[in-house]
Amino acid sequence: MRPYGRVIAFALAASAAAAVSVAGAALGRADDAPIGSVAAMSPTALGTLPSGTAQPLSAGASIFFQERLATEELGRLHIRLADQSVLDVAPSSELTIDKFVYDPSTGAGEIAGSVGQGVLRYVGGVVSKHQDVVFTTPSATVAIRGSSMLVEVTRDGETRATFLGGAHMRVTSGGETREVTRAGYFVSVPRRGEAPSAIQKARKAELRRALGAVRQRPGEQRAAALTRPRHPPAQGKGVPAKGLPPKGLHEPAKAPQARPPGKAPPSERERRPGGEERKQP
């Protein structure tokens, strides 16, 4: 049987020494410069700037370096970074972009983030075509090259990473790494310091459930319909939180269509749930 991955053991100190710091890097962005924006969301999510100031998010809002993003029990968040990476965040999730370096002229860069809990789907942009994009969880480090993956983190810190496509996905914990190269296969880590599990094929029902948690839904606020960029003040300090947009404000209201002369409006019983009118016999 053809193997779907391989086990690589290595010292954690080696990977730490290979990490490149954003501070002072030629491609690094200023802390108060946006690194992406909210493409869509529902119904509420909160962004906490490095200063500690929490701000409600809306579609079109800017996302900043080291901003902690959190969704509520029913909230979903869809973010597009400057290199065209896409981050889909499920309800009751926490995500922070810890490192973002990107040079549009060459495509070179570096992206790293952390997932505190919840479900994240990452779809790679320009940077991931050149090197691994890395996400840290309470129990593991997950790296993706090329395309996309799902990262699920329970409240107890257990991590499950599923490879959806691309060159490879690597899951590291306890000094060992599992490399997955076949879409639809996953690795789990029960707690910090333990070695990753064997590479296993995800069940279709489990995959549908996880993907359903991050998938965009009808009625979500979208950046094309509602754009409210946020601009932090000078020197990277936060701004006061402002109220959320009114409930149900997703796109501009459409003008009512004129009814032909002589035609009476249908009664409520003559309407279908979706708003269509029943044809009269």
Q: What is the pLDDT of residues 12-41, one digit of tens each?
A: 333 333 333 333 333 333 457 899 999 998
pLDDT given for residue 263 in this prediction = 54
The DSSP element (H or E) to which 42 belongs, if any, is strand 34-42
pLDDT given for residue 74 in this prediction = 87
Q: What is the band of 146 on the pLDDT scale with cuts at 50, 70, 90?
A: confident
Structure tokens, 269: 């019983």
C-alpha–C-alpha distance, residues 88 and 64, integer Å: 16
pLDDT given for residue 266 in this prediction = 52
Mean pLDDT over the full length of the chain: 76
pLDDT at 162 over 60: yes
The DSSP element (H or E) to which 176 belongs, if any, is strand 176-180
Of the listed ranges 75-89, 164-178, 266-280, the least confidently predicted one is 266-280
Q: 163 with 120: CB under 8 angstroms? A: no
pLDDT at 237 over 80: no
DSSP state of 269: G
Domains of the chain: 5-237 (2.60.120.1440)
- Which of the two residues, 221 and 39, has the higher pLDDT score? 39
Residues linked to residue 177 through DSSP beta bridges, in sequence order: 8, 172
pLDDT given for residue 3 in this prediction = 45
pLDDT given for residue 62 in this prediction = 94
Q: What is the band of 215 on the pLDDT scale with cuts at 50, 70, 90?
A: confident
* CB neighbours of residue 233 within 10 Å: 10
Q: 139 with 157: CB under 8 angstroms? A: yes
Closest CA relative to residue 68, chosen from 29, 30, 77:
77
